[in-house]
Structure 1
Amino acid sequence: MSFEFAERDLQHIRNVLGYLERSADFVRQTEVNAVISLGYWRARVRAIQVMPLLPMHIDKQAKELLGRLDRLESARQDGQSTTAARPATRSLASVY
């Protein structure tokens, strides 16, 4: 993987995380889809971090994305514990 490709991939991941951060309620309720799986995105960032001779600016971008993933994971866990404490609500699927 070239450094140029790594930078483009990090930009793509940054865009995905922006979407996930804006739709936090959806993220908390969904676990199965690869687009939503935070572990999948974390693995992609880490794959870039292990590149030999990785420039410092790319490593810095990767670390920032890992921090955002940590915050999303924390929000997801908080949401799951809150959901478990609340009475069950109807999902959109049950409405249609």
Structure 2
Amino acid sequence: MSFEFAERDLLHIRNVLGYLERSADFVRQTEANAVIGLGYWRARVRAIQVMPQLPMHIDKQAKELLRRLDQLDSTRKENQPASKEKSRAAPQTRSLASMY
């Protein structure tokens, strides 16, 4: 993976996080859809961080995205009891991650 590709990937992840931060339904979506699951995005950022000789500015961007992911995750966990009550009435959906 080139550094240019890494920067484009981080920009894409930044845009996805912006959507999730603005979305009122992100808690439900992260539970039901592995593609926008926070663990998936965290793994993509970490894959960039382990690149050999990663420039400092890219590492700084990656750390900021991880901080935002942590913040979203804590928000999701705070809202989880209310969403569990709703999920009991709705049919359970399996994430893609649970299928592999």
Confirm or deny a common fold (TM above 0.5): yes
What do the CA deviations read for 1:2-61 (whole angstroms, capped 9, x no partner)? 0000000000000000000000x3111231312320000000000000000000000000
Whole-angstrom distance in 2 between the partners of 1:28 and 1:88 = 12
Identity across matched positions, percent: 70
Give the TM-score normalised by the residue count of structure 2. Answer: 0.79
- Work out whether 1:80 is the aligned partner of 2:59: no
Query: Which sections of structure 2, spanning at least 5 residues, go unmatched?
Result: 91-100
Give the TM-score normalised by the residue count of structure 1. Answer: 0.82
Whole-angstrom distance in 2 between the partners of 1:88 and 1:57 = 42
For these two proteins, the number of residue pairs brought into alignment is 88
Q: Say if 1:33 and 1:78 are closer, same or farther in 2 by CA, change over 3 A.
A: same
- Runs of 4 or more off by more than 6 Å in structure 1? none
Work out which of the two has the higher radius of gyration on C-alpha atoms and give 1 or 2: 1
Deviation at 1:88, TM superposition (A): 4.7
Structure 1 letter corresponding to 2:38: L
Tell me what 2:27 maps to. Answer: 28
Question: Alignment partner of 1:35: what SS?
Answer: helix
Query: Which residues of 2 match residues 58-73 of structure 1 at below 5 A?
Result: 58-73=58-73
Structure with the bigger percentage of helix: 2
Question: Alignment partner of 2:25: what SS?
Answer: helix
Question: Alignment partner of 2:11: what SS?
Answer: helix
